[in-house]
Amino acid sequence: MRWVLLGIATAAAIVVVQMGPRGAVSDRRPLMFITDMDFQPRYNPQAATPFFADGRTMRTPPAGTIPFGGADYDSDAGSPRQNPDFLKSDDAYYRGKAGTAWLARNALPVDIALLRRGQERYNIHCAPCHGATGAGNGVMTQYGMLGVASITDELHTLMPDGQFFDVISNGKGRMMPYAPQVKVRDRWAIIAYIRALMRSQSTTLGDVPEDQRGNLNP
């Protein structure tokens, strides 16, 4: 009898020592006792499959094809909006071009909503390198990021909006293309906000409404 009890106690002790208390931090794959239909034979986003040669469940459209029905790639994949310009023939909006020259002004009407959106997106995608004011002194420059442009200097003030769009979309120098990260509309919003940043760098006290002057931090 003693041996039976001892055997069971040893087995239980091994399990407890191996597993630890539940929820303990571990790099072991979670044990699932009852999987029900947790793992179904279907393709999940960004998952792997041996079926396709490149091992991905997500397919890219063959080169030269366009989305059938003109669904907008920029909209939610689950509920695609229709994009009447699905061929992206609008050079000004999709490439920042006016004929062969750069588009001088923003392709979108600039209002406070666009500026706020631009501010939000600028702080997410641009500020890590270019800094919150665009002076080229973002946090990454302390970690060895080289050649970050001050985008509010005079050179950039003279740059047409279309060229900004091109740099954001296709990169320049060490800056990688941000087209995969920032949608077309957001790129225009960011450009509108960059213009506001430029303006903010050359202001005088006279530009501040009188009733707001008390809020300034010297």
Partner 1 sequence: MPLVFTHEADRRLRRLVIGVVLSAALGLAGLYYYGPPEYTRVGYAPKQPVPFSHEQHTGRLGISCLYCHTGVEESSVAKIPPTQTCMNCHQTIKPDSPQLAVVRESFASGKPVPWVRVHQVPDYVFFDHSAHVRRGVGCVSCHGKVNEMPVVVHEKPLSMGWCLDCHRQPEACLRPPSEATNFAWQPPAGRSNSDYGRLLKDQSRIHPPEQCSGCHR
Quote the CA–CA distance of 215 and 66 in Å, as a whole number: 52
Nearer Cβ to partner 1, position 42 or 213?
A: 42
Quote the CA–CA distance of 137 and 153 in Å, as a whole number: 13
The CB-of-160 to partner 1 minimum distance in angstroms stands at 24
Binding interface with partner 1 (CB under 8 A) = 1, 4-5, 7-8, 11-12, 15, 19, 22-34, 36-40, 42, 44-46, 48, 54-56, 75-78, 120, 123-125, 128-129, 139-140, 143-147, 174-178, 180-181
The CB-of-131 to partner 1 minimum distance in angstroms stands at 12
Selection from 171, 157, 189, 188 nearest residue 129 by Cα: 171
The CB-of-126 to partner 1 minimum distance in angstroms stands at 10
Nearer Cβ to partner 1, position 92 or 182?
A: 182
Q: Which amino acid is at 109?
A: P
Quote the CA–CA distance of 135 and 155 in Å, as a whole number: 13
Nearer Cβ to partner 1, position 82 or 202?
A: 82
Q: Long-range contacts: 178-181, Cβ < 8 Å, 24+?
A: 178/125, 181/125
Nearer Cβ to partner 1, position 104 or 147?
A: 147
Q: How far is CA 155 from CA 133, 149, 150, 198, 212, in A?
A: 16, 10, 9, 11, 31
Q: Are strands 101-102 and 97-98 parallel, antiparallel or unpaired?
A: antiparallel
Nearer Cβ to partner 1, position 82 or 181?
A: 181
